[in-house]
Amino acid sequence: MGIDLEELYKDLHAHPELSFQEVRTAGIVAGHLDGLGFQVHRNIGKTGVAGVLRNGEGPVVMLRADMDALPVKEATGLDYASTAMGVDHQGLEVPVMHACGHDVHVTCLIGAVEELVRTQQDWHGTLIAIFQPAEEFGGGADTMVKDGLYDRIPKPEVVLGQHVAPVPAGWFGLRSGVAMASADSLNITLHGRGGHGSRPETTVDPVLMAAAATIRLQGVVAREIAASDSAVVTVGQLHAGTKNNIIPETATLGLSIRSFSEPTREKVLAAVERIVRSEAAASGAAREPDFNYEERFPLTVNDDAAAQRVDAAFREKFGAGQVIDPGPVSGSEDVGMLATAAGAPLVFWFLGGIEPHYAKEFAESGRLPEDVPSNHSPYFAPVIQPTLTLGTEALVTAAREFLA
Amino acid sequence: MGIDLEELYKDLHAHPELSFQEVRTAGIVAGHLDGLGFQVHRNIGKTGVAGVLRNGEGPVVMLRADMDALPVKEATGLDYASTAMGVDHQGLEVPVMHACGHDVHVTCLIGAVEELVRTQQDWHGTLIAIFQPAEEFGGGADTMVKDGLYDRIPKPEVVLGQHVAPVPAGWFGLRSGVAMASADSLNITLHGRGGHGSRPETTVDPVLMAAAATIRLQGVVAREIAASDSAVVTVGQLHAGTKNNIIPETATLGLSIRSFSEPTREKVLAAVERIVRSEAAASGAAREPDFNYEERFPLTVNDDAAAQRVDAAFREKFGAGQVIDPGPVSGSEDVGMLATAAGAPLVFWFLGGIEPHYAKEFAESGRLPEDVPSNHSPYFAPVIQPTLTLGTEALVTAAREFLA
Amino acid sequence: MGIDLEELYKDLHAHPELSFQEVRTAGIVAGHLDGLGFQVHRNIGKTGVAGVLRNGEGPVVMLRADMDALPVKEATGLDYASTAMGVDHQGLEVPVMHACGHDVHVTCLIGAVEELVRTQQDWHGTLIAIFQPAEEFGGGADTMVKDGLYDRIPKPEVVLGQHVAPVPAGWFGLRSGVAMASADSLNITLHGRGGHGSRPETTVDPVLMAAAATIRLQGVVAREIAASDSAVVTVGQLHAGTKNNIIPETATLGLSIRSFSEPTREKVLAAVERIVRSEAAASGAAREPDFNYEERFPLTVNDDAAAQRVDAAFREKFGAGQVIDPGPVSGSEDVGMLATAAGAPLVFWFLGGIEPHYAKEFAESGRLPEDVPSNHSPYFAPVIQPTLTLGTEALVTAAREFLA
Amino acid sequence: MGIDLEELYKDLHAHPELSFQEVRTAGIVAGHLDGLGFQVHRNIGKTGVAGVLRNGEGPVVMLRADMDALPVKEATGLDYASTAMGVDHQGLEVPVMHACGHDVHVTCLIGAVEELVRTQQDWHGTLIAIFQPAEEFGGGADTMVKDGLYDRIPKPEVVLGQHVAPVPAGWFGLRSGVAMASADSLNITLHGRGGHGSRPETTVDPVLMAAAATIRLQGVVAREIAASDSAVVTVGQLHAGTKNNIIPETATLGLSIRSFSEPTREKVLAAVERIVRSEAAASGAAREPDFNYEERFPLTVNDDAAAQRVDAAFREKFGAGQVIDPGPVSGSEDVGMLATAAGAPLVFWFLGGIEPHYAKEFAESGRLPEDVPSNHSPYFAPVIQPTLTLGTEALVTAAREFLA
């Protein structure tokens, strides 16, 4: 029987959809869940899908995948590469790509529920499959919860999920406690005074202001965070101007900020605001910058006891040497919101997705070559196998650890 | 009889058109020229219009106005403010505004030809009115010449034109020799390596690279140009990134560069390239930046003898104290190409367009308050009168100086 | 009997000596060792002192303190504050201060050997007290070893030492494995071209070059080191120019670089060189920068088994809650060279030296207020008690753990 | 008869003296003046010398030379190069060099007074020779005036002087009106918070603060001064730190600022203070920077009528083509204070001092190759002849223009 997971994966990869626009993807997964006998809830949190399969008495276990893609122009050269365009939340037409591997997550979760249905005589309980929108942007998990997710489906007793990572296929990364950083997304508008490009003395140049702020922000991590602590301050967007010979009125900065504790987060945000305000003052800006905080990702914290159960199950299934503690990871996730809202423990792990021939180098050095593309790169291309098979088995293994 | 110049001005102001898209404006001016008895040539250099009026034997005198507007969002609050949108040369939809005052130029030239027609018994010769497209962007004068302008109309014996300027209405700025800077427009693409915003160590951050280059470019004018010389290096555009948590592959800089001699121009361009290449190297970029030179404006050089004739005529007409030497101006123009291609002398002057109540302060200090908006500002709003009347009279006066 | 440790401490604090100039300090400690019955070796590694006390058969245990002070102008306002001046290795006269607390180390080691002598009927073995010069600058441990330390005294079976730290007195910091960073000290000379301050266009400004390099170096830690790794790049010195209106020929940078593994160290050093070379190129320097590596501190790595013994002994002596794992510390030490050269395990710990009234805040948050001065600050002032008593007891306790 | 000017020049060059320390030089010139029959006043304004020669009724004409050298380490390789050391005003021992050519000025003035004495039957009036100290630093002219110069000697009716310049020997630069910039010397102390180099998070790094300020100051000239105006902002000194692994408490900047009008001067100074304060704020400094203004040089303004007389005399003597208008020069002088205090007109000109083989290139391009060292460079080496002869003749010619 069965769904051809490789075909499904290539199809999803070739048809990526931006956050809260995962209509085609949601339709596909809902169709599969329906075909497998799940009770299917559509359009929870705009485009989210929840499937519930009751299989006798027993624990309620949630498996979660995220569905959305990114505004990145794919450059992998794969024959199933995306050429899709989308319209982002600002109304701009942009290229779209599964540059973060959510297509892997969706495919593996479809594979896992199919396998769990196939073997449902071996376990008891309630299986929930969540296909979440907008993990990248917009707070999809939070939106599903606020849209009444737990009014429609049972609250899980454990939430399980995974993310494909730049680690050789065959390895899994799992740890107790803080697993991923908190993330804040901050948009800043710097106000200058526009004018003709030949007469800067009549203006307050916001391009220089933005450049100076960007440069100065490097000092936050370099000088204000202890070597024993960690943070990341990325200026992912800088936009100013419409014409080379016009000095514009404003410039905008888009920051992504990571930290691993609330005091450090507050320290970093305060330093960012201090620096940006000061650079506006250095330029002689008449108006203070605007700071607009967008979505925030909480710390992703794995439950100790539950994580140790999954860890033991993975070691038995895949080999003890294949499960590593990656340390706290600087990426962020909103999967934790599904667990927190249910009062349930979370276990979230990393699934290796890089060509296995890097395994030896990785095992020896703990590193991959610098030119291996990581998530969000236009060259990010997980190897299809054994990634899909192992990702499917991991979800099944973890779910079976909790299902009676 | 008569065209209501103020109504014409407000109409043009409310309906600005981007470079080479001046279809509506060209239609209006061609209609007026036609009605005044001119032989009208349309669509020279895409949207350019030339009108020829033969009025017996005598000199051939060209009056020139430029028609295009800018991708600026008007913020004047005027009741005739523009709300127009346009599509720029990159295909982006942008707001459009007559932020450089070309609507003043068009209106005054219509007024001037009307007056010269009305008084045509007083002079002899051939009057040419040129309504040029794309002064701001794309080389409209050059395009008209290359499209066979002087195959269709007689070559002028003098080329006359004006630009509204942030000087109180009532004043004119005129000088012999170098009147305006040469301008180069340079687009630079900086190549980094993209990746996830939380893992900068896997990337080469092009946002930081672009910011560092922008900061470092300030040193060209500050350190490499003598106090006795002049140049302007403006980064009018800086664009990078599509999402706060993605480090992009590339960043683009758009520069406008002004200089007043060829050796200085070459020195500045070499310094800009040296700095940008070095900042890419500082970031560890694997690929050199791309440098793409767009349109170039030549030096605008007024003919000594012809300029002195206009200067004398203006002093007599408007008062000796009302004509000042503004020194070489850092703005640029392509009007000189119309003269150079005809082998004719050029006289190009500045027309005051700011509220006359600043006159006293300006007369005493030679300056205006810093908050008076200059050309290309979204707040740029020439005072309608006496600007339109004086701009019309200036064209008539200069033309009559040369017409027999 | 007994030495008044508080008096000794205040005397040492008021009479600090720069690296390899610890003549007065060495004289004092040699006198005490002599008085206590030690066999005393002077002038090992210039100003170093080694004392050996043989007390029957048994293990050879080395206790080590460092003696040198820093070129810092004391600003504590203490009544025993230093007003001393010294001549640094460049021949400049500079103020000198025990801003790193080596006076605490010396005092506690004198206290410890006195106590061990007093109780020498309770243990057997050979006790070695090392008073090392030049920990701060110049490689004092390496110099002692190369000067034949282990030809003159027995090789130890364990090396023990401590450093006073900005942690409330009463706490100890101790960990197995990597305890402190490796440190590289790098001096860079940037070559510009000098000239008159009013004519920068005739020069290559090395001040701007140095400033740009310093700014750009912040990107090494901020962008090139993973959140899961650590490094510190400090520009501790920047010197350029002799007169405001002369643009100098050169500028010098003095860097201190910390890392916790050899691959990261190599990555950081390569990035530093890449950036500095590129900034010289951005300025159009005719000559490449010079890079001169000074002393290097190795990683300080505690032996697992020996560290666990000391940890257990401390928990029993001072209370389990008083011993914390501070994680790898970004400071550096050369004490490890004494152990490595002897093939002996090392145990090196941190001794709290801040007013105990911060204890509650520290216990709850793991932090101290930002205005508590840390080592190398001109305001650094360890609280005398209980610091001296606890530092003495710690050395005695650790030594007794190994002495039979 | 006669003084060997070349020998005198080489001797002065080999024995340079810092500002207000020109004891040897003053002794030499006073000896010559004495021998020539002048009434000699020594020690006016510390080390200044004034010589008065009354030669019948007639105008009082002052010739002025400055005597001091610079803290620059000579690198010319000349056989009469300086190896002198001096102690600067901060008490530091520094190398000293006549890097600004004041030795040329002194020599030519000795030659001129000798010639004027030799030919004194041809003129009538009073000749004053001023050998001024401390032109570079400390306000030597002002100090002479305040020390009662004009109580001791007659007030001149014209003040004449010259400066050797990087122009081929044979040329003179002379203009009416603004001849040289005003100059302000500004010392800034930036206050951070010191600490250990490995723990920047406990500090406020003043090195980064100073570097950021230096970088940002480039924007003053690059963005805030019109292309039609001029200013120079040079950071000639930046000093911070005593040891690579200590983050210091403070950093100091030494600025030299040039401008050509009082409004521009005020604008620049305000921008400098605004930027430096803002960069301190960006670093989170607890204390505002200190701004200490040192000596100020006024604008050097030549009297129109007197300058035209000298100009005519030079054209007749040296050839019309050899006298050029260099425009306002960005260097500064305090010679004007001698004229202002006397209420007398000033004429100050530039004397070419570069090898004459550059004459053709200079005549054609108005420039010299970039590698020709300019004043204040350690390689600055005026060609001895014809510089000394022409400089002597220029002073004689100008003086004779005014002496009856």
Report pLDDT digits (tens) over C241-282: 999 989 999 999 999 999 998 899 999 999 999 999 999 999
* Residue-averaged pLDDT of chain D: 94
| Domain covering C182-296 assigned CATH 3.50.50.60 in the classification | no
Is the torsion defined by CA of B97, B99, B105, B107 positive or negative?
positive
A 242-261 → C contacts, CB under 8 A: 258, 260
Local confidence band at B308 (pLDDT 50, 70, 90 cut-offs): very high
Token digits of residue D293: 């203004």
Cβ within 8 Å, pair B222-D220: yes
D71, D186, D197 ranked by CB distance to C256: nearest? D197
Collapsing DSSP to helix, strand or coil, C379 comes out as coil
Q: Give the CATH fold of the C5-181+299-402 domain.
A: Aminopeptidase (3.40.630)
Write down the pLDDT at residue D190.
98
Token digits of residue D378: 């350690």
Collapsing DSSP to helix, strand or coil, D183 comes out as strand
Query: Contact A274/D284 with Cβ under 8 angstroms?
Result: yes
A217 interfacial to chain B (CB closer than 8 Å): no
Query: Contact B185/B294 with Cβ under 8 angstroms?
Result: yes
Write down the pLDDT at residue C138.
66
Indicate the helix (H) or strand (E) that contains C141.
helix C140-146
C186, C202, C245 ranked by CB distance to D185: nearest? C245
Dump pLDDT digits (tens) for C355-382.
Answer: 988 888 887 777 778 778 888 889 999 9
Q: Which residue has the higher pLDDT, C92 or C148?
A: C148
B367 interfacial to chain D (CB closer than 8 Å): yes
CA distance B380 to C229: 52
Dump pLDDT digits (tens) for D274-320.
Answer: 999 999 999 999 999 999 998 789 999 999 999 999 999 999 999 99
A199, A210, A373 ranked by CB distance to B374: nearest? A199
CA distance B234 to B232: 6
Number of H helices, E strands in chain C: 11, 18
C219, C222, C228 ranked by CB distance to A327: nearest? C228
pLDDT at residue C1 tops 50: no
CA angle at residue B132 from B127 to B133, to 5 degrees? Answer: 165
Number of H helices, E strands in chain B: 11, 18
Dump pLDDT digits (tens) for D223-258.
Answer: 999 998 999 999 999 999 999 989 999 999 999 999
Cβ within 8 Å, pair B365-D232: no
| Burial status of residue B370 (CB atoms within 10 A of its CB: 0-12, 13-18, 19 or more) | middle
Q: Cis ω on the peptide bond leading into residue D386 (within 30° of 0)?
A: yes
pLDDT at residue A1 tops 60: no
C 155-214 → B contacts, CB under 8 A: 198-201, 203, 205, 208, 212
* Residue C201 assigned as binding residue: no
At residue B299, φ and ψ (nearest 5 deg) are: -55, 140
Write down the pLDDT at residue A330.
86
C329 interfacial to chain A (CB closer than 8 Å): yes
Closest listed residue to residue A65, CA positions, set A48, A82, A81: A48
D275 interfacial to chain A (CB closer than 8 Å): yes
Cβ within 8 Å, pair B231-D230: no
Cβ within 8 Å, pair D201-A226: yes
% pLDDT > 70, chain B? 100
Question: What chains are in contact with A, requiring at least 3 Cβ pairs below 8 Å?
Answer: B, C, D
CA angle at residue B237 from B288 to B21, to 5 degrees? Answer: 115
Look at chain C and count its residues.
404
Dump pLDDT digits (tens) for D378-398.
Answer: 999 999 999 999 999 999 999
- Chain A residue numbers with beta carbons less than 8 Å from the beta carbon of B186 are 244
Dump pLDDT digits (tens) for A107-128.
Answer: 999 999 999 999 999 999 999 9
What is the chain D residue with the closest CA to C218? D208
Inter-axis angle of helices B387-402 and B304-318, nearest 10: 130
pLDDT at residue A336 tops 80: yes
What is the chain D residue with the closest CA to C211? D211
C88 interfacial to chain D (CB closer than 8 Å): yes
Closest listed residue to residue C368, CA positions, set C389, C386, C352, C384: C352
Local confidence band at A404 (pLDDT 50, 70, 90 cut-offs): confident
Cβ within 8 Å, pair A278-D275: no
Query: Contact A62/A131 with Cβ under 8 angstroms?
Result: no
pLDDT at residue B181 tops 50: yes
D283 interfacial to chain A (CB closer than 8 Å): yes
Look at chain D and count its residues.
404
The pTM (predicted TM-score) of the whole model is 0.83
* Residues in contact with A56: Cβ distance below 8 Å, sequence separation at least 6, in sequence order: A124, A125
CA distance A96 to A78: 15
Look at chain B and count its residues.
404
pLDDT at residue D373 tops 90: no
Closest listed residue to residue C214, CA positions, set A219, D188, D189: A219
- Strand-pairing partners, residue B190, are B251
* Residue C288 assigned as binding residue: no
Dump pLDDT digits (tens) for A224-267.
Answer: 999 989 999 999 999 999 999 899 999 999 999 999 988 999 99
CB pairs under 8 A between C and D: 238
CA distance B18 to B44: 17
Strand stretches in B250-361, DSSP E: 250-259, 290-297, 300-302, 323-324, 346-354
SS (H, E, C) chain A: CCCCHHHHHHHHHHCCCCCCCCHHHHHHHHHHHHHCCCEEEEEECCCEEEEEEEECCCCEEEEEEECCCECCCCCCCCCCCCCCEEECCCCCEEECECCCCHHHHHHHHHHHHHHHHHCHHHCCEEEEEEEECCCCCCCHHHHHHHCCHHHHCCCCCEEEEEEEEEEECCCEECCCEEEECEEEEEEEEEECECEECCCHHHCECHHHHHHHHHHHHHHHHHHHCCCCCCEEEEEEEEEECCCCCEECCEEEEEEEEEECCHHHHHHHHHHHHHHHHHHHHHCCCCCCCEEEEEEEECCEEECHHHHHHHHHHHHHHHCHHHEECCCCECCCCCHHHHHHHHCCCEEEEEEEEECHHHHHHHHHHCCCCCCCCCCCCCCCCCCCCCHHHHHHHHHHHHHHHHCC
Dump pLDDT digits (tens) for B348-404.
Answer: 999 999 998 888 888 777 777 877 888 888 999 999 999 999 999 999 999 999 998
Cβ within 8 Å, pair C246-D232: no
* Residue C136 assigned as binding residue: yes
Write down the pLDDT at residue A138.
66
pLDDT at residue C110 tops 60: yes
Dump pLDDT digits (tens) for B101-121.
Answer: 999 999 999 999 999 999 999
Least Cα separation, residue D85 to chain B (angstroms): 30
Closest listed residue to residue C85, CA positions, set C16, C31, C38: C16
Question: Do strands C93-95 and C125-132 pair parallel, antiparallel, or not at all (unpaired)?
Answer: unpaired
% pLDDT > 90, chain C? 85
Write down the pLDDT at residue B183.
94
B 32-51 → A contacts, CB under 8 A: none
Show the DSSP H helices in B197-261 as ranges: 206-224
CA distance A174 to A388: 18
Cβ within 8 Å, pair B207-A237: yes
At residue C105, φ and ψ (nearest 5 deg) are: -60, -45
Cβ within 8 Å, pair C227-A228: no
Domain ranges of chain C: 5-181+299-402, 182-296
Q: For chain C, how far is it from start to end, CA to CA, in angstroms? A: 25
What is the chain B residue with the closest CA to C282? B275
Least Cα separation, residue D373 to chain C (angstroms): 7
B99 interfacial to chain A (CB closer than 8 Å): yes
C226 interfacial to chain B (CB closer than 8 Å): yes
Dump pLDDT digits (tens) for A32-68.
Answer: 999 999 999 999 999 999 999 999 999 999 999 999 9
